[in-house]
Amino acid sequence: MGLAHSAFVDPPWSAALDAERVIASVPRDAMIAGMFFIALVEGAKRRATSLPLAKERYLPFSFYPVSEFAPLLVDAAQRFYPDRPLRQALRALGANGPKAFAASTLGKVTLGAAEGVHAAVAAIAKTYEINIRPSRCLVLESAPQAMRLSLDDVPYFLDYHHIGVFEGTLEHAGVAGRVRLSSRGRTCADLLLEWTA
């Protein structure tokens, strides 16, 4: 691939995480689709727990502030995975994202129609611009068992929660792999996805 693999590193899983600082940095105009709130609320119901920060009702294709979603995500991570460090809990929630998306109406049309790893990753990449505004995810390069993506303007937990999203995408596609990143700042990074058949 064009970009040297040495530019990519494993996410900082053991680094300290100041979640409140991340949440405070979320732009007020950043928006996210209601389906992601719904997935967290349904996850709480399955675990027989509650999310006090959640509203009574969300509409799946309406948009809500990321500044409301990010603290709800942290609360869910701590309640769903109390035995894990927060970074790892947010990673696990991200990894569950493709499965939740595949169960939605939009997911059945996009991800459900994707055949193979490359198509599944490309389908998830396209959802960013649609569902998390103003974010963008583009496929930069593809190889037989690797892809390089760019993520831009992702306003929350890029280097752990969104790494989990693409780890979950590889798992959804039926392959074992890893995701490394080359950071371009708090909200932007290139990701390198590699897998074995």
Q: Which domains does the chain have, with CATH numbers?
A: 7-196 (3.90.1520.10)
Instruction: Provide the pLDDT for residue 111.
Output: 72
**Which range is least confidently modeled, 63-77, 101-115, 121-135?**
101-115
Instruction: Provide the pLDDT for residue 113.
Output: 67
32, 128 Cβ separation under 8 angstroms: no
CA distance 26 to 86: 18
- Which residue type, as a one-letter code, is found at position 66? V
CA distance 60 to 38: 7
The position carrying tokens 């963008």 is 136
CA distance 74 to 89: 9
Instruction: Provide the pLDDT for residue 1.
Output: 45
Instruction: Provide the pLDDT for residue 6.
Output: 67
CB neighbour class for 179 (10 Å; exposed up to 12, middle 13-18, buried from 19): buried
What is this structure's pTM?
A: 0.92
- Which residue type, as a one-letter code, is found at position 169? T
